[in-house]
Amino acid sequence: MQRKTAGAAQGLDSLAQVAGMGLMGLGGLVAIISGVIFLVIIIRSTFTK
């Protein structure tokens, strides 16, 4: 039995609710990618001077 998976406990009954959860996950992915890009820019600008 898997733990902490999206299922009956979240009440994802309709397509709109499932799409909302997917969109929230996509937003998290965008936030992580932009954070990594920010760190790369800061590190490059620090060491190129």
List Cβ neighbours of 17 (8 Å cut-off, separation of 6 or more).
10, 11
pTM: 0.64
Q: Assess contact for 21 and 12: CB atoms under 8 A.
A: yes
Kindly list the domain boundaries of the chain, sorted by start residue.
13-47
Whole-number average pLDDT of the chain: 84
Comparing 38 with 15, the larger pLDDT belongs to 38
